[in-house]
Structure 1
C-alpha cells in the first residue's frame, strides 16, 4: 500500500469498525454508455443495499451533493449549501471519515476533494475500496446506516476548483500545466466516450485516472505514480489544473498529486469537458 495519511487499508478499517467517531461512506455512482455515445449516470444505492462495509452510510453525489440549478451533471453546489449537506449526513468536527467506492476510486476521491474545498481534512480513502474489501471476504452488511447530523463549519478553499475562464487563461503559461484524466484515446480524440467535440483542451497533457490504480483497485506504488506525473512535466513549482469529463476522474489525479506526491497548487476544473467541448469558443486539439 502507498504510504499516505489520506489512505486507509482494509486491515486498518476492519480494526476500527464500531469506533464512536468513525463515519464510513459508500460514494459509488456508475457511468454507463448510453445509446447516443454519452454516459448515463446511475446511482450506486442498489449495490450499497446488496452489501456494504458494516456501518457505512451511502452518499448520493448526483441527488444530494450536486448543484440542482446547474444544467451540467455533478456541478459543485455553493460551498455554504455543501457544508450543510455534509453536516446533515453526519460529517462534522470530531468525526473521522472513511470514503470508498466500487469499481473505481474516483467517486470516493470526488467526495474527498469536495470535503477539502469546504475545509474538512479528517477524511481518508479506503485503498482498494469495496472491491478489495469483498475480495478479502471481510464482513458485509445489507442494513442501511444513517448517522446523526453533525456540526460543521465552512473553512472555504474555493481555489481548489476552477472554471473555464481560469483554464482558458492558463493555456500557454509556462508556470501552469493542464492535465487530462480521461483515457489516451479520448485525449487524442480517436475514440471512447465524448462529451461534445472530441479531443482535449488545447495544450493539455494526459495522465489517465484509470492508469493510477491496479486490478485490485489499490493505488499503484508511489514510484510509479511519481513517474507518471513527472513524465508530463508536473513539477512541484507549477500550478496544476486537472480535468476530465465531468470533474470526477480528475479528482483521482488531484488526490494523488496532493495527498501522495505532495504538490501544493492543484485545482480541478469542475465542469470539465461536458462544458468545454460544447462551447465552440473554447480551443481544443486532437491527434
Structure 2
C-alpha cells in the first residue's frame, strides 16, 4: 500500500474518518491542561503529551521544544515512522494541536495535518469516540531539525528592531495591553515592545474551526501591515502556533514561533523592556 497522502495540512473530520483504518495513519491527541489525555478520544489516538514528555525537562519554561534526542525517543514511542501520516487534534477545537504540528515540522516531519475543529468537530460529525488506548509498535522516524522555525529570546529581540518583521502576539487583547493579569502570576503584564496583538481566537469561527483562507489572509495581512517576515508569540509558545500554522496555510514563506514566548520574556529577572496599553 502506498503512503497516505494528505489533501492539505488542515483536514476535516470526514476525511479522517474515511482513512482511520489506514495502516500508515497515526492519530495524536495533543490536548493540554484540562483537555490533556481526556478519556474520550478518537479511536486509535495516542497522547502527544505537550505538558509532559514532549516538553524540555531541562528548561524552567513550559512547553518548550525538547532536545532532538528526547523528541526522537518520544515520537518513536508513539509509533511515528518515516512513512507515517500524522493527524493531530485537541479537545478544545483548535488550540494546542497546531503546536504539535509545528514541532513535527521543526523536527523534519512533513506528512502531518491538523484536524480542523478537533475533537468537538469529530463528535459533531457523528463519529465515534472511545476510552480505550491501544498499544503500538515503536516507530523509526529520525529527527532532522530545521532551524528558524522556533526562535529564542535573542533572535526575537533582534527581530523587534527589524522593520521588515512583524511580531504577532496570540494572547487576548486584555493580556496584551496588561489590563488583565497573567495566568502565571510571577510574570509581568504587557507585551513585547513593537509587537502587534492578534488573539488566536480571531482566526477561528464560532464553530472553533479556522476561518476560510481569504479571511485568514486578510486578518494576517492587516496585522503584519505588509511586513514580509512573521514571528508569532503567546503565553508559552502554544497558541502562537495557531497563528503560525494559519500563516503557513495561506502561503507565507517563513513564519516562525518564539519558543517560550511571554513565559520567557515576561519574567522580571530578564530585565527586558515591556510595554502596556494598546
Structures share a fold, TM > 0.5? yes
Contact 2:101 2:113 in 1 (8 A): yes
Give the whole-Å Cα distance in 2 for the aligned partners of 1:6 and 1:283.
36
- For the pair 1:11 / 2:1, whether they are aligned, the reply is no
- For the pair 1:212 / 2:203, whether they are aligned, the reply is yes
Aligned twin of 1:159: 148
Contact 1:186 1:194 in 2 (8 A): no
Count how many residue pairs are aligned between Structure 1 and Structure 2: 269
Give the whole-Å Cα distance in 1 for the aligned partners of 2:190 and 2:21.
47
After TM superposition, give the deviation of residue 274 of structure 1 in Å. 0.9
- Secondary structure of the residue that 1:178 maps to in structure 2? strand
Match of 2:50 among 41, 53, 61: 61
- Secondary structure of the residue that 2:96 maps to in structure 1? helix
Give the whole-Å Cα distance in 1 for the aligned partners of 2:66 and 2:79.
18
TM-score, normalised via structure 1 length: 0.89
- Secondary structure of the residue that 1:124 maps to in structure 2? strand
Contact 2:35 2:92 in 1 (8 A): no
- For the pair 1:232 / 2:232, whether they are aligned, the reply is no
Aligned twin of 2:243: 253
Contact 1:109 1:125 in 2 (8 A): yes
Structure 1's consecutive aligned runs of 4 or more residues displaced over 2 angstroms after TM superposition are 192-195
Give the CA RMSD over aligned residues. 1.7
Match of 1:149 among 138, 159, 171: 138
Distance 1:142 1:194, change over 3 A: closer
- Secondary structure of the residue that 1:52 maps to in structure 2? coil
Contact 1:28 1:108 in 2 (8 A): yes
Match of 2:166 among 160, 177, 190: 177
Question: Which whole-Å deviations, capped at 9, do the CAs of 1:145-184 have from their partners, x for residues lacking one?
Answer: 2321111122211210011111111223111111101111
After TM superposition, give the deviation of residue 142 of structure 1 in Å. 1.5
Q: Aligned runs of 1:255-270 on 2, under 5 Å? A: 255-258=245-248, 260-270=249-259
Match of 2:116 among 104, 127, 132: 127
After TM superposition, give the deviation of residue 80 of structure 1 in Å. 2.7
Match of 1:27 among 2, 26, 30: 30
After TM superposition, give the deviation of residue 250 of structure 1 in Å. 0.2
- Secondary structure of the residue that 2:74 maps to in structure 1? helix
Contact 1:101 1:129 in 2 (8 A): yes
Aligned twin of 1:33: none
Distance 1:273 1:4, change over 3 A: farther
TM-score, normalised via structure 2 length: 0.92
Structure 2: 5+ residue stretches without partners: 1-5
- Secondary structure of the residue that 2:52 maps to in structure 1? helix
Distance 1:117 1:175, change over 3 A: same
Bigger CA drift: 55-64 or 119-128? 55-64
After TM superposition, give the deviation of residue 117 of structure 1 in Å. 0.6
Give the whole-Å Cα distance in 2 for the aligned partners of 1:85 and 1:165.
28
Give the whole-Å Cα distance in 2 for the aligned partners of 1:60 and 1:248.
13
Structure 1: 5+ residue stretches without partners: 31-41
Give the whole-Å Cα distance in 1 for the aligned partners of 2:36 and 2:183.
23
- Secondary structure of the residue that 1:268 maps to in structure 2? strand
